[in-house]
Amino acid sequence: MAEPRLFDRRCRLVVGLPQTDYSTVAPDAIEVDGLRVQFKVVKTDTKEPNTAEVSVWNLSPESRAIVSAKGSKLLVIAGYADTVRQVFTGDVRLVDHTRDGAHWVTKLQAGDGERAYLYAQASDSFKSGTPALVVAERLASLLGLDPGNLAGEVALAAVTFTQGYSARGRVSAELDRLLKGLGLAWSIQDGRLQVLAPGAAAPGATSIEISPTTGLVGSPEHGSAPEKGKPAVLSVKSLLLPELRPGSRFSLVSESATGGYVASKVEHTGDTAGGEWYTTVEASLL
C-alpha cells in the first residue's frame, strides 16, 4: 500500500430494507457516494455482534426518510480507488438527524446480524442418534444468516447425541451452548457465521502483509494475555485495510515483531474529508 493512497480514499454506503431472505438489501435501497462520511467499525471474533457508527453529511430529505425506515440494513464499503471492499453490513438500530450550522448530519448505529442474535427463537427437540451437525444447521437456519463454514467445522467434531437434544430459547444462546460443547467458538462476520477453534485462522483466509512499505503506522505494541494460559495480544496499526477481519491471517514485518499472526479484533476508522483512515488490529501468533 503506497503512501499516495492516503489521498485516494473511497467510501460509499448502501441503506435499505432487507429482501425476504434477510441477507441482502432490496433493489430500491439508496446508495450514498460523494458525500462526506465518517465511520467506525469494530469487529471481534466473539459471538456479540460487530458494530458500526457512521455519520454522513447532507443527505437529501428523501434519503433521510429512507434511511430512517425501521428494519433497514446498512452496508459500508471503503478502501481506495483501486481496492474497495465491504467493511461492514448489519442491522440499523438507531438513526439521528441533526443540524450542524448549514449542514444536516445523519448518524447511524448498526449491529452485524443483531436482530437475529437478539430475537430469533428456537423450540426444537431432536431424537436420539441425531448428529450435532443436524442441530447446528437447524439453529443456523433459524438465525436466517449465511451459515458460512459452520457445517464443515461441526462435521469435523463427528459428535452424535445418543440421548437426543433439546434447543429452546434464544437461538444465539443455544448455538453458543452447542458449539462450546464441541470446543468451537463462533461469530457473525458481515451477515455470515464464522466458526473456529480458539486461536485458529479462518479457512481459506489469504495472508496479508503489514510492513512499513505496505502501510504499517508506528510500532506494534505488545500487550498481556487476555486470560491465563492464552497467548499475549499484539496491537498493530496500519493504513486502512478493508479486507482485514477477525480470523484473517497476516504477516507482520517490523523492527519489534515479525511473524505470522491471526486477527482477533479489528477496528476500521475513516473520514473521507481527511484525518482518520486506519485499521487497528489485535492479534496473536499463529
Residue boundaries of the structural domains of the chain: 6-113, 120-196, 208-285
Q: What is the mean pLDDT of residues 163-192?
A: 97
Q: What percent of the chain has pLDDT over 70?
A: 93
Give yes or no for a contact between 245 and 263, defined as CB atoms under 8 angstroms apart.
yes
The predicted pLDDT at position 286 comes to 83
Strand 165-170, strand 121-126: pairing: antiparallel
Highest CATH level, class, for 6-113: mainly beta
The predicted pLDDT at position 219 comes to 93
Does the pLDDT of residue 5 top 60, yes or no? no
The predicted pLDDT at position 21 comes to 55
The predicted pLDDT at position 2 comes to 41
Does the pLDDT of residue 25 top 80, yes or no? no
Q: What is the mean pLDDT of residues 237-263?
A: 94
The CATH T-level fold of domain 208-285 is Elongation Factor Tu (Ef-tu); domain 3 (2.40.30)
Q: What percent of the chain has pLDDT over 90?
A: 79
Considering only CA atoms, give the Rg of the chain: 20
Does the pLDDT of residue 1 top 70, yes or no? no
The predicted pLDDT at position 4 comes to 40
Residue 215, sorted as left (phi over 0), alpha (psi -120 to 50) or beta, turns out to be left
* Single pTM value for the model: 0.92
pLDDT digits (tens, 9 = 90+) for 185-218: 999 999 999 999 988 999 876 779 999 999 999 9
Fold identical between 6-113 and 208-285? Answer: no
pLDDT tier, 18 (very low <50, low <70, confident <90, very high otherwise): confident
The predicted pLDDT at position 3 comes to 45
Strand 216-222, strand 185-189: pairing: unpaired
pLDDT tier, 226 (very low <50, low <70, confident <90, very high otherwise): low
**238: its cell numbers:** 496500519
Does the pLDDT of residue 240 top 60, yes or no? yes
Q: What is the mean pLDDT of residues 169-196?
A: 97
Cα 210 to Cα 220: distance, rounded to the nearest angstrom: 10
pLDDT tier, 256 (very low <50, low <70, confident <90, very high otherwise): confident
The predicted pLDDT at position 8 comes to 83
Listed in sequence order, the residues at least 6 apart from 247 whose beta carbon sits closer than 8 Å to its beta carbon are 45, 187, 189, 194, 196, 200, 201, 202, 205, 262, 263
pLDDT tier, 159 (very low <50, low <70, confident <90, very high otherwise): very high
What would the 3-class secondary structure string for 210-252 be?
ECCCCCEEEEEEECCCCCCCCCCCEEEEEECCCCCCCCCEEEE
pLDDT digits (tens, 9 = 90+) for 98-148: 998 999 999 999 999 999 999 999 999 999 999 999 999 999 999 999 999
